[in-house]
Structure 1
């Protein structure tokens, strides 16, 4: 009788411990998912969709990216490279007026060259370059993806031509965010710690009136107040 009670008690303890372990594991998985979602933002949602909603597979994929590229070091730009890239992006925007498709081709090639010069892997498949960029530019890499997708899908004829052109224009605008982030990343930063410099350090954006309006410049703190006081 005593042996039966001991066995029954042990079974209850083991069952409780097993249930607790499962709950702790689920909680850890949920916390890891939240961490990845905060870390990668829209890219987490994209990977999750590609994995058909399999959160475990999505977390594993993003964890592998962090392991491969989390310590990637940003290389400095050569002398004069920043001005050259800005001029090239301006030429891309000008080309959009006459040939949106060609402009997107040039934009993707320009982003690829800039990424490689900043230290991201060269001569790798597109998806692998996206994986590396997503570790350090998770909330801006989507523009690169969108340009690539629109180029792959091609334009449309007839009534859909205007919508296709607008999609290309939107893709180019979104890609500009990654261009700025890559251009202004501080050299030597590792592990996703890089941040965009203040907008005023980026210099004036090249844009075409009515086609690609530049974002408003951010002024140093207190500058607006000083300007206002001088107008009175």
Structure 2
């Protein structure tokens, strides 16, 4: 056996060992594991599995395997402006048409995510799974808006409680929207839990859907 072949075998073996160690650390939920990576999304999935951390970690590990290598496409300035204008318009129409505004925000988030390189909005579950890998801190706001947009229309929808739920859903979803339109390539939502102004000079969008409340900065 040649020296070159022996060196190649040693390198491959070393790579396999390192990969196994990293996988084991991830399963243990160590400082670089799934719990650290997913944050609140980790707790949500554990609760969804009735406290079964093994099942939850298996689901999250599968998400990372499917979507971890996804590279987000940076948006052009004109795209950012167009999406920001659509969000602002939806907010302004909330007082008169809350359900229509929430539906527009749901569609807008799906469109922006697809533009950044995530699965298309028609594949909602897959899109959310991918977003949870790269924007774990904020993805649940998207879920909440989507549920509000898909909820059956009823008389109760028009009451104050229903309107407040939709308003809160839009506020929570805005964090994901800000992340998607402002961050540079290579950054991830889990590192940007508090989004203010982006590096492109776009201010954090004000909330004006409820005129009885002061605008947020």
TM-score by length of 2: 0.75
Gap change, CA 1:60 and 1:212, over 3 Å in 2: farther
**Is the CA contact 1:155–1:164 (under 8 Å) kept in the aligned structure 2?**
no
Go from structure 1 to structure 2 and tell me whether the alpha carbon gap of 1:88 and 1:211 turns closer, same or farther (over 3 Å shift): farther
- Runs (5+) with no aligned partner, structure 2: 1-23
Which runs of structure 2 are paired with 1:124-135 in the superposition (5 Å)? Answer: 124-135=122-133
Correspondence 1:137 to 2:138: no
Equivalent residues, number: 189
* Equivalent residue number for residue 146 of structure 1: 144
Aligned pairs for 1:145-224 (under 5 A) are 145-154=143-152, 157=155, 161-187=159-185, 189=186, 195=192, 199-201=196-198, 202-208=202-208, 210=211, 213-216=214-217
1:50-82 alpha-carbon deviations (Å, 9 max, x no partner): 223221111011011111111211102134111
Q: When you count helix as a share of all residues, which structure comes out higher?
A: 1
CA RMSD of aligned residues (A): 2.9
Partner of 2:85: 87
What aligned pairs does 1:29-178 form with structure 2 within 5 A after superposition?
31-32=28-29, 35-122=33-120, 124-154=122-152, 157=155, 161-178=159-176
Aligned-partner Cα distance in 1 for 2:142–2:131: 10
Partners of 2:56 and 2:34 in 1: CA distance: 9
Deviations 1:21-59 (A, max 9, x none): xxxxxx979832773223212211222232232211110
The 1-side partners of 2:144 and 2:98 are apart by 14
Q: Deviations along 1:175-196, whole A, 9 cap, x unmatched?
A: 0000000111212x17878647
